[in-house]
Structure 1
Amino acid sequence: MSAIPSSTPGTPWAPQPAAVQLVRSQVPHGIRTLTVREDLVGWVLRGRKRLVSPGGGMAFERGRVFCIPRATQWDVLNDPPPGGHYEARVMAFAPQTIERFHARFGQYAGVPAVQGGAGTDADPAFAATFDHACAALSDPEASEAMREHRALEVLLLLAERGLVFAPVQSLGWADRVHRLVGQRTHVDWTVDTLAQAFHLSASSLQRRLAEESTTASRCVREARLLTAMALLQGSELQVSEIAVRCGYQSHSRFSAAFRQRFGYAPTHLRP
């Protein structure tokens, strides 16, 4: 999920309080080795979601809510019901929102933070709160204060059920690059243009990414392909248009990169 671009120099990755995505698919599909970079709350409306890690796995059926903390890694499998399609609504919380939650609701500081993942039921109370938040976050006319208020309501409801995301530490450089590229995936990002956006030299950015065992090109590729996956799941755009939006002028190169990353062609999600 991509962040909203910021107009503040030096903070190009600053997002809105939370971002919402509708995920739909008529075919079973998986995402291998997905690193979760923001705290996520999702509601399975149809079908079944499975999350698998070396430490085990979890399954969420229709009507279940999943809470996945940032900085975790999973193999994700989305299974439609027989004759139907998989559908889920996902809300990704900006780090600033998590920090504001802890600042305002310190009484939940003693609640153990969600570690590998957790779930709860999408009962009427959750459905109403989640729906109100999704409506505000998707409304371009809603004020920033209202968007934040609705996002915090979701976090507060979950906290009352014992589900709290941990306070946020400083963003790593790989996360910063992912956020920046995710805002404008069509841009021809290079080490020089990335470094300029962060007011660094190219060598300094490369060194900081190397300390996190990654590179600028790897971060750019991952951000583009994950954005492509989100567009394939949540929009009716043609595959060729998604390729261009994600920085690939060649449809064949996009398909090859997508297949290498996910194990199937992008057309697999468009039967």
Structure 2
Amino acid sequence: MRDVYVTTAFRGAARLRKPLLAKQTEKELSLVSTPVTDIASAPAQVIRIASSARHRVRTLSIREDLLVLVRRGRKALIAPTGTLSVSKNEVVVLARGTQWDVLNDPADESCYEALALAFSDEPVRAVAAILPPVRDELSAARTMDLDGELSEVIERTALALEAATVSPLLQRHRVIELLLVLGERGVRLKPVEQISWAERIRRLIALRPEEDWRIERLAEVFHTSASTLRRRLAGSGFTLAGLVREVRLETALVLLQSTQRSINDIALHCGWESHSRFSAAFQARWGFAPSVMRQRLAQNGAHLERLA
């Protein structure tokens, strides 16, 4: 089992590192095949990733505690303090609030494949209340070898979450079972004791990213004054403009990967009236144009269809 430690503070779009576009050889893409639902309504979210090309996403923020099982190829998690490599048949657990450059590589395989589970806070809190307290809760990332027991509980959890016939109660039970298995193996996730003001605002914006979000409107929603809300944001190191922009670009990334909506429709949904301005902002943030991602997704889908 290996640990890596990184700075976990996320301070908004204004402080993110810009992507290094010069002399890049890898395709900078993140290919997610499973439509994303509102994680607040489920104990966890299933994300299935597949790519026939080497791809990279820069400054990816982990919003929920995340487990990733690499089935084929290898993953690299790059931080200022070093690189954590995750090989085939290894599991990595990433703590919420961390930020990474992520490189997915088919390596010697025909494609890269991974299964990811993003855990909501409720089951994390439930498990924290059951297990005895420890000092070394997960603060960044930890890798584990995949054995029969861990593989079985991950698969069972993913299938339960994806099945329309499985009740929410049983889905929660499966997620808690997986978290208990992780906890008994030394991987303890930290529950969120209190949601920060920045996170409250981010979640509200995510519900309607196309809206014209102003501080006065948000203050009304949260039953406070605009000046008070502005001070709270400033004290956290965020600006409203930075939060709105980051949420819109993250939403656009997910919609491009998980839906068939047109790029223009996604741009409008995420608050851009100009297709060209959306494409420029998307490329500046993620390091590749929306059209490039769509082309690679189409190629990857055809590749997986041939494999089937």
Q: Secondary structure at the residue paired with 2:188? A: coil
Aligned to 2:25: none
Distance 1:164 1:249, change over 3 A: same
Contact 2:74 2:106 in 1 (8 A): yes
Deviation at 1:214, TM superposition (A): 1.0
The partner residue of 1:27 within 53, 71, 94 is 53
**Residue 131 of structure 2 is aligned to residue 106 of structure 1:** yes
Contact 2:210 2:272 in 1 (8 A): yes
Aligned to 2:77: 51
Contact 1:20 1:138 in 2 (8 A): yes
Contact 1:185 1:224 in 2 (8 A): yes
Contact 1:2 1:179 in 2 (8 A): no
Contact 1:173 1:209 in 2 (8 A): yes
Larger radius of gyration: 2
Give the letter aligned to residue 106 of structure 1: L
Aligned to 1:160: 184
**Residue 35 of structure 2 is aligned to residue 4 of structure 1:** no
Distance 1:32 1:51, change over 3 A: same
Contact 1:23 1:230 in 2 (8 A): no
Deviations 1:105-157 (A, max 9, x none): 223x2362122211113333222212222223234443332221111111111
**Residue 275 of structure 2 is aligned to residue 251 of structure 1:** yes
Deviations 1:55-108 (A, max 9, x none): 1120112222110011222122222346733332221111222111111x223x
Q: Secondary structure at the residue paired with 1:211? A: helix
**Residue 195 of structure 2 is aligned to residue 171 of structure 1:** yes
Contact 1:47 1:80 in 2 (8 A): yes
1:212-227 paired onto structure 2 within 5 Å: 212-227=236-251
Aligned to 1:38: 64
Distance 1:193 1:150, change over 3 A: farther
Deviations 1:142-189 (A, max 9, x none): 333222111111111111211111232211122222222333334443
Q: Which runs of 4+ in 1 moved over 4 A?
A: none
Contact 2:69 2:90 in 1 (8 A): yes
- Distance in 2 (CA, whole Å) between partners of 1:121 and 1:232 is 32
- Distance in 1 (CA, whole Å) between partners of 2:196 and 2:117 is 21
Contact 1:111 1:162 in 2 (8 A): no
Count of matched residue pairs:
261
Aligned to 2:122: 96
Identity of aligned residues (%): 39
Unpaired segments ≥5 residues, structure 1: 6-13
Q: Secondary structure at the residue paired with 2:236? A: coil
Deviation at 1:192, TM superposition (A): 3.5
- Distance in 1 (CA, whole Å) between partners of 2:71 and 2:38 is 26
Give the letter aligned to residue 230 of structure 2: Q
TM (norm. structure 1) is: 0.84
Contact 1:19 1:92 in 2 (8 A): yes
**Residue 113 of structure 2 is aligned to residue 87 of structure 1:** yes
- Distance in 2 (CA, whole Å) between partners of 1:187 and 1:59 is 40
Aligned to 1:72: 98
- Distance in 1 (CA, whole Å) between partners of 2:250 and 2:113 is 18
Q: Secondary structure at the residue paired with 2:202? A: helix
Deviation at 1:15, TM superposition (A): 4.1
Give the letter aligned to residue 163 of structure 1: V
- Distance in 2 (CA, whole Å) between partners of 1:243 and 1:258 is 10
- Distance in 2 (CA, whole Å) between partners of 1:247 and 1:35 is 21
- Distance in 1 (CA, whole Å) between partners of 2:260 and 2:107 is 21
Contact 2:36 2:47 in 1 (8 A): no
Aligned to 1:8: none
Aligned to 1:61: 87
Aligned to 1:117: 141
